[in-house]
Structure 1
Amino acid sequence: MLSTAIPIFLTLTSLLTPTASQSINPNSVPQSTRDYWCSSQKAACPLLCLQLPGASGSPTQNDCSADTLAYSCICSNNKSPNASEYSQTMPYYICTETNTQCVNACKTDTCRDACRTDNPCGAQSPKRVNVTTTSAAATTSTTMPSVNTKEATGSATRFSIEMGHVVGSCALVGGFVAGFAVLL
């Protein structure tokens, strides 16, 4: 019985293991921060899935453990996006915290500079998967093009999500301005 339980346990833990090469002691980060990181990772997973060809914004697996900092994001096409290429994801938070801990441990400016320049966080060469070219759009046809409703729905969803970020940012800035106006 034990021999079959170990491979199952290893399989389950491997699904929740971050793909980031850096690691930190989870207990070196406050619980509330780790909770926030997991919340952000889980919110990012559906958006990351939209970046993968053939995947919807409804992942089949979206888990995160604030205790271990392990996470999983498996999209509807059974593939996992490279979360380390995005901000607001667990690999990004682990990377930035690793760099912060490195800086705090350094005694010289050279050492502190090396912490961040030698270990950049986020995408270094992001793939642009939702880019349209203008040369392909130019046609002289007088007939109406056919519309792929699945593609149009995905585009509308991405547009709604992007606009939500813009509106949220505007509301946040407006709140700060109104708060300062009241103080004056």
Structure 2
Amino acid sequence: MLSTLLVVLASAATMARGQYAPTINPDSVDLTDRQSWCNAQISSCPILCLQMPNTTGALINSCSPNTLYYVCECSNGLSPNASQYSQTMPYFICTEANNQCVSKCADSTCQSACRSDHPCGAQNPVRVNVTTKPSATPSAKVAANTTTSVALGTSTATGDATRLLAGDMGNVYGLCVLVGGFVVGFAALM
């Protein structure tokens, strides 16, 4: 009886360290896909850890494609909420669970409910280190030195996507001008 209790407690402690919450049977997914999921999870862990306070990266970072069990523990002893991000095991499991739900549906209403009732990824992302913009008011100057946070891959407002696109277009335009300059220079030398 005591040995059974110790095994249960050890299992619970191990599970508490990792984040294991599959809603699918791992064997229902091709092993190659599960290996790809684990590779993405392992790649994401250090990045997620660096967004947490008082950490220098990942301390424990492992994933089993056979069980879909993974551990992402940061150097500060905490584990990030990987369900708030894409390219993590919770995201892949959620997406696959939705796909399996859709495959069992007979009509589009059921299919739509599979995905809308169980959204995957960040619903209320944890905000991380984004500097606020100063305005003309004196209190805004104080606020300009403070930071708020935004999860990777999300934006704080619709305008951010426009600014991001405009910034990327500026980079593309600059690259085109640079390459064009080289082509003109090369043509002049010939």
| Superposition TM-score tier, normalisation by shorter sequence | 0.5 to 0.7
Alignment of 1:154-165 (within 5 A): none
Aligned counterparts, 1:41-120, within 5 A? 41-57=41-57, 59-120=58-119
Contact 1:16 1:64 in 2 (8 A): no
**Cα RMSD, aligned residues only:** 2.3
Unaligned runs of 5+ in 2: 143-167, 173-190
2:6 partner letter: T
Equivalent-residue separation in structure 2 for 1:138 and 1:12 (angstroms): 48
Q: Distance in 2 between matches of 1:127 and 1:111?
A: 31
SS of alignment partner, residue 53 of structure 2: coil
The structure whose Rg is larger is 2
Change (3 A) 1:127 1:16: closer
User: In structure 2, how many angstroms separate the alpha carbons of the residues matched to 1:9 and 1:115?
Assistant: 32
- Residue number in structure 1 paired with 2:122: 123
Distance in 2 (alpha carbons) for counterparts of 1:51 and 1:76 = 12
Which amino acid is 2:52 matched to?
A: L
* Structure-2 separation of matches of 1:81 and 1:62: 12
Identity of aligned residues (%): 49
SS of match in other structure, 2:130: coil
Q: 1:107 to 1:44 in 2, by over 3 A?
A: same
Q: CA deviation at 1:55?
A: 1.5
Give the equivalent residue in structure 1 for 2:158. Answer: none
Q: Which residue of 1 aligns with 2:32?
A: 32
2:10 corresponds to: 8
Q: Tell me the TM-score normalized by structure 2.
A: 0.66
Q: What are structure 1's unaligned runs of at least 5 residues?
A: 140-165, 171-184
Offset at 1:115? 0.5
Higher relative contact order (CA 8 A, sep 6+): 1
Cα offset for 1:38?
A: 0.6
Alpha-carbon distance, 1:75 to partner: 0.5
Higher strand share: 2
SS of the counterpart of 2:103?
A: helix
Give the secondary-structure state (helix, strand or coil) at the position aligned to 2:129.
coil
TM-score (ref. length: structure 1) = 0.68
Q: Quick one: distance in 2 between partners of 1:137 and 1:45? A: 35
Distance in 1 separating the partners of 2:127 and 2:13: 32
Cα separation, partners in 2 of 1:56 and 1:138, compared to 1, 3 Å: same
C-alpha contact 1:16 1:63 (8 A) present in aligned 2: no
1:136-155 matches, within 5 Å, as none
Q: Hey, what's the Cα distance between the residues in 2 that align with 1:80 and 1:102?
A: 29
Aligned residues between the structures: 138
